[in-house]
Amino acid sequence: MPGSSTAKEKRHPIQVVARRTGLSADVLRAWEKRYGILQPARSDGGRRLYSDDDIEYLRLLRRATGAGRSVGQLVGLTHEALEAVVREDDAAAAAGPSELVSPPTVDAVVDRAMEAVAALDARQVEMALRRAMIEHDATRFLDAVVVPLLTRVGNEWSRSRVTPAHEHLASRVIREALNEYMATFVPRPEAPRFLSATPQGQRHEFGAMLAAATAAAAGWRVTYLGADLPAGAIAEATRQARVTVVGLSILHPTDDPQLPAELKALRAALPQDVVLLVGGAGAAAYARALRDIRAVLVSDMASLRPALVSLAGEPRDAA
């Protein structure tokens, strides 16, 4: 029972806690590192262990964040204070706590977000993404929620089913969600450093943002520069931030006559030991130029993850 010695005993591994709370293990680790939420014990093998009281507190946090509150607003609240916040939110929403027991499927999340985009309801898009952020690990959140949502918004816009206003609203909210998501990952002081950008002439930034978020979730210290950067600026930032891997996203246009020279100038300006990873839907169109500068062509996020693990030199802590 809550408050008993059994309830306070640290005995549940993080996988059990993730199942019981609906929070992904990635989020549990990130909240612990960034906000100091809970202090799990460690088993003889070094794995995190949580108590029944910890699990109940995390359930309350999930319900409060699912209602639209940020974790930063809730840090430091006692168990009783957090319960009061949840009761208040439940009463305001006129919804019972059972609504949050079973997370919606990723397809349902994307559908809900698209409905909110169509209604120009930025708040509902934000809430759908925030729930997905805390309920799914990095791979599912980025690959199965953010990428399909971006694709659907782009397809609807290209078919004139949504207006530029809808597309801009969706892009703004997704951009803010990705920035918030990256900020939840606190790298180790000795973590390897990754820089993400798009080269000059490439104005679509979401590929670079997704690469940055993937690297952050994998434990890298990330410098995200954004879109349309000249070679000199990328190279200077690489040296200043002591970056070991530069990731570039190339999407559109796929026939820019200036881009091969820009890529060559970047390779010449970068330190020789810096690895250059290049991905995006348009990257293959510049395959010859990428070979000439010894860049590694990454076909998708699923290929980026093992490349990052290999380049980091050690696996990420799974405990």
Which CATH number belongs to the domain containing residue 48 in this structure?
1.10.1660.10
Residues 204 and 136 in one domain: no
- Shared domain check, 44 and 23: yes
Q: Which residues touch 273 (CB under 8 Å, ≥6 apart)? A: 244
Is 96 within a domain? yes
176 and 249 both lie in a single domain? no
* Residue where a domain terminates, one of 53, 72, 100: 100
Parent domain of 30 = 5-100
Residues 177 and 211 in one domain: no
Whether the full predicted model's pTM is greater than 0.95, yes or no, is no
In terms of domains, do 156 and 199 share one?
Answer: no
End-to-end CA distance of the chain: 27
Bridge partner list, 296: 277
Looking only at Cα atoms, what is the longest distance across the chain? 70
Q: Residue 272: what pLDDT?
A: 93
Query: Based on the structure, what is the number of domains in the chain?
Result: 3
Listed residues 49, 75, 100: the one ending a domain = 100
Asked whether residue 202 falls in the same domain as residue 308, the answer is yes
Q: Are 89 and 67 in contact (CB under 8 A)?
A: yes
Residue 70 class from Cβ within 10 Å (0-12 exposed, 13-18 middle, 19+ buried)? exposed
| Confidence (pLDDT) at 9 | 87
Beta carbons of 235 and 270 less than 8 angstroms apart: yes
| Residue 169 C-beta-side C-alpha neighbours within 13 Å | 20
Contacts 24+ apart (CB under 8 A), 125-131: 125/169, 125/170, 125/173, 125/174, 126/68, 126/173, 126/176, 126/177, 127/66, 127/68, 129/173, 129/174, 129/177, 130/65, 130/66, 130/68, 130/177, 130/180, 131/65, 131/66, 131/103, 131/104
CATH of the domain at 253: 3.40.50.280
The answer to whether position 317 is within a domain reads no
State the amino acid at position 290 in one-letter form.
Answer: L
How many angstroms separate the CA atoms of 77 and 191, rounded? 31
C-beta of residue 117 within 8 angstroms of C-beta of residue 125:
yes
Give me the pLDDT at residue 227, please: 97
**Considering the domain boundaries, does residue 116 fall inside one?**
yes
Question: Is residue 308 domain-shared with residue 205, that is, in the same domain?
Answer: yes
Per-residue pLDDT of 196-255, as tens digits, reads 999 999 999 999 999 999 999 999 999 999 999 999 999 999 999 999 999 999 999 999
Are residue 175 and residue 201 in the same domain, yes or no? no
Sign of the CA dihedral with 212 first, then 215, 216, and 217 last: positive
Tokens 């206003």: give the residue: 165
The Cα 183–Cα 177 span in angstroms is 10
With beta carbons less than 8 A apart as the criterion, state whether 112 and 124 touch: yes
Q: How many residues does the chain have?
A: 319
Q: Flag residues of the chain having pLDDT under 70.
A: 1-5, 93-103, 314-319
For residues 216 and 278, state if they share a domain: yes
pLDDT value for 315: 41
Task: Please list, in sequence order, all residues whose beta carbon lies within 8 angstroms of the beta carbon of residue 208, skipping any fewer than 6 positions away.
Answer: 196, 197, 198, 224, 225, 226, 227, 247, 248, 249
Choose one of 120, 155, 183: the last residue of a domain.
Answer: 183
Residues 212 and 170 in one domain: no
pLDDT at 89: 78
